[in-house]
Amino acid sequence: MKACTYVERGRFELREKPEPRLETPRDALVRVTLASICTSDLHILHGSVPRAVEGITVGHEMVGVVEQVGAEVATLRPGDRVAVNVETFCGECYFCRHGYVNNCTDPDGGWALGCRIDGGQAPLVRVPHADQGLTPIPATVSDEAALFAGDILATGFWAARIAEITEEDTLLIIGAGPTGICTLLCAMLHRPRRIIVCEKEPGRRRFVREHYPEVLVTTPGECRDFVRRHSDHGGADRVFEVAGSDETFRLAWECARPNAVVVIVALYDRPQVLPLPEMYGKNLTFKTGGVDGCDCAEILHLIAEGRIDTTPLITHRFPLSRIMEGYRLFESRADGVIKVAVECQK
């Protein structure tokens, strides 16, 4: 089969590879119907994920149909439509039992798919711990609607949960890329008093204004003053940093009111510094990730109810045979791209 492969730093290629097989009784094979390209894939391409293994098939955002299951898989059967979780986790270790599935102690635990083991930018993928890593898609939910449930929607849902949002809060979301929009959608479920989105790209600001007119929108240069004018206590009660740059990391704590919560959702290319003398007295609480992606069933239920809709994020589609064009488009952020859907059977 053809698979998008991490060859070396700076180089992905569509290569011919053997189809995967079941390796343990808890595995499942999934025929991938739709996948997507994630910013985390670009981090691998740029060499910013040291644990990524050269030669693996990349891709961790996907939906598909179960083709085969191991003897110990209890909740799935061939023919089930499923969303694939970004994380694989055993469900049994200390961290899994406490909901911290990103820190699963199993050798395949955490972010493995498309990073340490073969992922899903291919026609077929092996998913370890299938009972935990695959979630049946409700019959009324399309592949497109379910595509982001296992990764960027799980990230947004986790971020909103750990922020402990109240209905009195003013929220600031820095970054209106795909994960920023998913964080916005999940934060809206908590009905905060107001939400402000900060985004530098005009096209993405237009997207937010068009689709979520109740949300306030500003730019990085205006953000500090804008947040102060539109908050009750000198800054945002909850800040979500989703953009992932040195400037936005600083902006996050500067725009937070004293005793606020700052949730770091972004994955950075390099270490960030907390200038503690400047921050002294703000008494901020920082919460950081990776995502604990164990809410996919609830997310798919919310999608089925019409309370979350990420289909507008899919702005471009490519067959797997042209995935490298999709990568070039996504990385350049040209043509108004937000998310690229990849049809893996073509």
Per-residue model confidence as pLDDT tens for the chain (346 residues): 999 999 999 999 999 999 999 999 999 999 999 999 998 899 899 988 888 999 999 999 999 999 999 999 999 999 999 999 999 999 999 999 999 999 999 998 989 999 999 999 999 999 999 999 999 999 999 999 999 999 999 999 999 999 999 999 999 999 999 999 999 999 999 999 999 999 999 999 999 999 999 999 999 999 999 999 999 999 999 999 999 999 999 999 999 999 999 999 988 878 899 999 999 999 999 999 788 888 999 999 999 999 999 999 999 999 999 999 999 999 999 899 999 999 999 8
- Return d(Cα 159, Cα 289) in angstroms, integer: 8
Provide the 3-class DSSP secondary structure of residue 58: coil
The number of beta carbons lying within 10 Å of the beta carbon of residue 48 is 15
Contact 82, 66 (CB under 8 A): yes
Token pair for residue 176?
């209106």
- Residue for token pair 């899994």: 96
pLDDT value of position 215: 97
pLDDT of residue 49: 87
Compute the 3-state secondary structure of the chain and give helix, strand, coil in percent, each to the nearest 5. Answer: 30, 25, 45
| pLDDT given for residue 150 in this prediction | 93
For β-strands 170-174 and 124-127, DSSP reports them as unpaired
Q: Which residues, including other chains, have CB under 8 Å from residue 125's CB and lie 6 or more apart?
A: 20, 29, 30, 32, 57, 59, 62, 64, 84, 113, 118, 119
What's the pTM value of the predicted model, to 2 decimals? 0.94
pLDDT at 270 (0 to 100): 83
Least Cα distance to 6 among 82, 59, 63 occurs for 59
**pLDDT for position 175:** 96
